[in-house]
Amino acid sequence: MAVYQATASAPVNIACIKYWGKRDTKLILPTNSSLSVTLDQDHLRSTTTSRADSSFEKDRLWLNGVEEEIKEGGRLATCIRELKRLRKEVEEKDSSLPKLSSYAVHISSRNNFPTAAGLASSASGFAALVASLAALYQLPASPSQLSLIARQGSGSACRSLFGGFVAWEMGSKSDGSDSLAVEIAPREHWPDIHALICVVSDDKKGTSSTSGMQRTVETSTLLQHRIKYVVPERMKAISAAIRARDFEAFARITMQDSNQFHAVALDTDPPIFYMNDVSRAIIALIVEYNRVSVAAGGKLKAAYTYDAGPNAVIYAPKENLKEIVELILNYFPQAEPFKDPFGLFGAGAQGKLVEGFNAAVAKPFGVGAVKNLIHTRVGDGPRVLAPEEALLGPDGLPK
């Protein structure tokens, strides 16, 4: 008997222009456009296998081996329903096709990074879910069309349908049909953009993006200014910077937009704090590192950005990563040796500061303040994987 199954992986993305606010919470339509860099799946990814079978009784999903409830009318159910609807359209045009749209599906998904790291697993997770079901159903849909569905799982997930540099255009229609992801440039355009993720230790339970941004929409007047006057200009300017491979402009806008996102969080009633002392110390280090470069007649060499948590993501051209890792190691000693996937350090990292760096801009922290450093770079979009990579066994349950 035929097995109808497909496996796909999808990347994490980290925004330079932040999505924060919905004008429609059910369809997940944003109050502003946003733009992100897709990170390399060789380092961070979600992988999902989907199978359709006439013997399955209901749709089921396992995340890292643990079954999750698919709530009626919830985000998961919406994504699955929309993909089945597209499959049905295909079946109606070609009656020789198996009626997969009428079968229940089993879905098994895994992240290759710990959920506890506080990295946006919902973006890569929903993108992998949509990519695997689209492969299973052999949908003739473009990444932008699939992004319309991923968006309804988690807003930021729509941007993980592309590699490289990706905009989510907010759109204006009330049905959401023009609120989708588009590629600004593929990774091959600017492969030199690397990222260092500083996983910052966090003992408190933070405010989720979903509830936090809704409170900001309801209470922040600063958000209205951001939506109307700031983001539209920044979207144009950063897209131009990416097209011109102008790191200076890219870095300035990225840092300004991270700062403004955290400012609207603070302008929320009651206020929301996502960054902590460690996050702020990393900002001080990057600001000083850039100051030294500019003082010597050079350019900005790194850009920080923070999402709805204390982790820092530092974007920089590859040639600067060695100095940046040394800088972070100087202030944030690691329990484990730095994992060096690009071979920056032959003999091991020393924690050296660049010439002229004012060491007093931050105090040194103890081991564990930054739990982990992940060095990665701009990456490609979702991949359809070989059958051997499947996460479901012959019995249709997670392996």
Nearer to ligand DP6 (CB atom), residue 257 or residue 323:
257
Task: Give residues with Cβ within 8 angstroms of 202, minimum separation 6.
Answer: 118, 276, 309, 310
12-41: contacts with ligand DP6 (CB under 6 A) = 15, 18-20, 28, 34
Q: What is the CA radius of gyration of the chain?
A: 22
Task: Give residues with Cβ within 8 angstroms of 8, minimum separation 6.
Answer: 47, 48, 128, 131, 132, 134, 135, 382, 383, 384, 385
Nearer to ligand DP6 (CB atom), residue 210 or residue 239:
210
Please identify which residue in the block is written with the tokens 């999750």: 68
Q: Does 268 bind ligand DP6 (CB under 6 A)?
A: no
What are φ and ψ of residue 228, in 5° steps?
A: -80, -45
Two structure tokens written together for 236: 């144009």
Nearer to ligand DP6 (CB atom), residue 20 or residue 247:
20
Q: Which stretch binds ligand DP6 (CB under 6 A): 148-156, 242-250, 284-292, 385-393?
A: 148-156
Q: Does 121 bind ligand DP6 (CB under 6 A)?
A: no
Binding track over 275-314 against ligand DP6, x by CB under 6 A: --------------------------------xx------
Please state at what angle helix 143-150 crosses helix 121-136, rounded to 10 degrees.
Answer: 120
Beta strand segments in 254-311, E: 303-305
Q: Which residue is nearest to ligand DP6 (CB)?
A: 155
Q: Does 160 bind ligand DP6 (CB under 6 A)?
A: no
Q: Does 120 bind ligand DP6 (CB under 6 A)?
A: yes
Q: Does 156 bind ligand DP6 (CB under 6 A)?
A: yes
Question: Exposed (0-12), middle (13-18) or buried (19+): which is 312, by Cβ within 10 Å?
Answer: buried
Task: Let me know: does 207 contact 308? Beta carbons within 8 Å.
Answer: yes
SS3 261: helix
Nearer to ligand DP6 (CB atom), residue 166 or residue 370:
166
In the complex, minimum distance from the CB of residue 156 to ligand DP6, in angstroms, rounded to a whole number:
3
Nearer to ligand DP6 (CB atom), residue 15 or residue 44:
15
Beta-carbon-side half-sphere exposure of residue 183 (alpha carbons within 13 Å): 17
* β-bridge mates for residue 218, sequence order: none
In the complex, minimum distance from the CB of residue 44 to ligand DP6, in angstroms, rounded to a whole number:
14
Nearer to ligand DP6 (CB atom), residue 272 or residue 300:
272
Nearer to ligand DP6 (CB atom), residue 154 or residue 179:
154
> Site for ligand DP6 (CB under 6 A): how many residues?
15
Provide the binding-site residues for ligand DP6, judged by CB under 6 A.
15, 18-20, 28, 34, 120, 122, 154-156, 209-210, 307-308
